[in-house]
Amino acid sequence: MKSFMVIYLAMLGIAMGVEIAAGAFIAPVIFFPQKYLGDGVLSHFQSGILMTQVFLKMNLVIGFVALYSIIYEVQVFMMRKNYDFLSFFLSFLIVGSTGLFLFYYTPFILHAQQLGSAETTTEAFDTMHKQSEWIMKALMVAQFGLFIRRSWLSQK
């Protein structure tokens, strides 16, 4: 069970790293290419298309981590060994927020992009995009909390 814990913690760390890299490192470069290449290289819409491709690949990682997380926590609960309500609750939050990001916000953004650049400048799109950013932040907080909690519990 200890090796599954190490894998679990590594996966949570990798997921958080991927999310931070996408939001803090990749997005500013993709959305502001003029800083590096000059003006007229990419429109904001084209940058959004590229960023969506990054998030589609990230979705594979965070979806797998969320699935592993809930399976691990359910197994721990069923075995009644190292069960921790807070860890289970955080895992449930991770699954919920990941599900929202993967199956609600991502399809909405993809659909808007397929309809064209005019659709991505609407108030509805802006609202959904901001909500997806908040969901991603909540996901990262839950992952960080679970990482700390499980790390602390594994030391006992």
- SS in 3 state form for 58-96? HHHHHHHHHHHHHHHHHHHHHHCCCCCHHHHHHHHHHHH
Handedness of CA 131, 132, 133, 137 (dihedral sign): positive
Q: How many CB atoms lie within 10 A of CB 28?
A: 10
Q: Indicate the SS3 state at residue 11.
A: helix
pLDDT tens column, 32-77: 999 999 998 999 999 999 999 999 999 999 999 999 999 999 999 9
Mean pLDDT value across residues 16-32 = 96
Cβ contacts of residue 142 below 8 Å, gap of 6+?
90, 93, 94, 97
Query: Which residue type is seen at 103?
Result: F
Domain of residue 146, residue span: 2-154
Instruction: Find where tokens 């690949």 sit.
Output: 57
Domain count, the chain: 1
pTM: 0.93
